[in-house]
Structure 1
Amino acid sequence: MNSIKIIRYSLAGIVLGISVGNVRFVATTHAQDTNNTKPAATRRVREGGRDPFRKFEPRRASAKVIKKVWAPSIQERIAQYKAQKVAAMKARMVAPKPTTALLLSEMEIVGISRTPRGYAAIVEATPIKLSYVIYPGERFYDGQLVAIEDNRLVFRREIVLSDGRRERSVEVKALRQPSAVNLMSAAKTAPASLPLAESDKSSEQPAAAARPQ
């Protein structure tokens, strides 16, 4: 009987030891799993997000303000013309004409004449007070001469916009009318020649009387 009890107690101790070892192993494994697990990334939800139950509407692109690109000053345009002329001379190319630095609004039509090359126009650059002879096809800073008629010139104006586009329109410039100063000077010179003619006639009358009949 004592041997049987001893065997039972021994088996019970072995089973108890195995169970305690299993508990420690499970606890250690659970602790390792807890340390290895990373916290799940929290997803931020915007408060002002789109309503999932509302129909999707694409955003409207903001309308860009398109403006006219203004021409630089006359001094800057003359400097650009000089640089282009030097570059053309170095490259042995035809140099641009001075009119390429002028705006259409800076010219006045002084006269129109007929030459062996056809019609030509004399224009005056008002900012610099210089005159040039131009022909159809002549280019300017913001346009080109298209045709020369009897008493007017037809130009094609180009307007550059901020988005890179160019708008073209037709512009007609008439001959410059004589100013009031020119009219007054012409009126003063006309009567001055009249007394001279009368004096010539009066001098001829005594000579005619002195002639023998």
Structure 2
Amino acid sequence: MKQYTRIIRTAALGLLAPLVIIAAFAADGAAQTQGGGAGTTYRGASRDPFTPYRAPVRRKPSARATPSVISPPAIQERINSYKAQKAAAIEAQRPAPKPVTALLLSELQVIGIFRTPRGYAAMVEATPIKLSYVIYPGEMFYDGQLVAIEEGRLVFRRVTRWTNGKRETAVETKALRQQNTAATDSLTANGAATPKQ
């Protein structure tokens, strides 16, 4: 009896092994046909195979105009652009950009420098629109960024854009605006500064 069970087991394995191998080959062939196997899809030639090869022609760069500095738009255009950015940020539920992003560095006057719990801050006046803003290091402007606030001056990084896409960065400093001595002299001359007796 033991002899028959061994014969039956060997015969079953002998029949089952070729079936497993055939199934594996069939699955591999099906995967190749689904994946666009070799030679089943036609890919057009990049050129006519019956014409002789010619090297591609390299064109010399045409004489372009010399690059020039891109001038910034007018203040009203920059303000309108800022308002559009602010509306888009509110719509997307993101923080709104600071109003100073519409100002050029040349349009700023440093009114004062003071110390806050966040560190040094500066009060600047936008000369075209006569508004004052408190700014901190890292604030972005239309053509630069505030890098540092020192005792009597602000240090900016100015970015100049050219028509050829190049950008130049330069360091610019703005000193604290001097107090208008003519106004204080006129007050003391009129007796406004002296106490009445």
For the superposition of Structure 1 and Structure 2, which TM-score range results when normalised by the shorter chain? 0.5 to 0.7
Distance of aligned partners of 1:60 and 1:112 in 2 relative to their CA distance in 1, 3 Å threshold:
closer
Quote the residue 2:157 is aligned against: 156
- Please list every run of 5 or more consecutive structure 2 residues that lacks an aligned counterpart in the other structure: 1-58
CA distance in 2, matches of 1:143, 1:177: 24
CA distance in 2, matches of 1:87, 1:136: 25
- SS of corresponding position for 2:194: helix
Quote the residue 1:73 is aligned against: 74
CA distance in 1, matches of 2:60, 2:136: 53
Quote the residue 1:146 is aligned against: 147
CA distance in 2, matches of 1:120, 1:186: 30
Distance of aligned partners of 1:185 and 1:120 in 2 relative to their CA distance in 1, 3 Å threshold:
farther
Does residue 172 of structure 1 match 2:176? no
1:185 shift after superposition: 3.9
Q: Which amino acid aligns with 2:114?
A: S
Trace 1:1-213 onto structure 2 (pairs within 5 A). 61-188=62-189, 192-194=193-195, 196=196, 199=197
Identity of aligned residues (%): 57
TM-score scaled by structure 1? 0.61
Q: Which amino acid aligns with 2:184?
A: L
- SS of corresponding position for 1:146: strand
CA distance in 2, matches of 1:72, 1:182: 35
More helix by share: 1
- Please list every run of 5 or more consecutive structure 1 residues that lacks an aligned counterpart in the other structure: 1-57, 200-213
1:64 shift after superposition: 3.2
CA distance in 1, matches of 2:130, 2:115: 24
- SS of corresponding position for 1:193: coil
Distance of aligned partners of 1:86 and 1:60 in 2 relative to their CA distance in 1, 3 Å threshold:
closer
1:164 shift after superposition: 1.0
Give the CA RMSD over aligned residues.
Answer: 2.0
Distance of aligned partners of 1:60 and 1:163 in 2 relative to their CA distance in 1, 3 Å threshold:
closer
Q: Which amino acid aligns with 1:105?
A: S
The question of whether the paired residues in 1 share the 8 Å contact of 2:143 and 2:158 is answered with yes
Moved over 4 A (4+): 58-61, 189-192
Q: Which moved more, 1:113-122 or 1:184-193?
A: 184-193
1:165 shift after superposition: 1.1
After superposition, what is the alpha-carbon deviation per residue over 1:87-145, rounded to whole angstroms, capped at 9, x for unaligned?
00000111101000000000000000000000000000000000000000000000000
1:177 shift after superposition: 1.1
Q: Which amino acid aligns with 1:154?
A: V
The question of whether the paired residues in 1 share the 8 Å contact of 2:104 and 2:142 is answered with yes
After superposition, what is the alpha-carbon deviation per residue over 1:163-208, rounded to whole angstroms, capped at 9, x for unaligned?
11111000000001122442324434767525x3xx4xxxxxxxxx
Q: Which amino acid aligns with 1:93?
A: R
- SS of corresponding position for 1:86: helix
CA distance in 1, matches of 2:187, 2:152: 22
Q: Which amino acid aligns with 2:174?
A: K
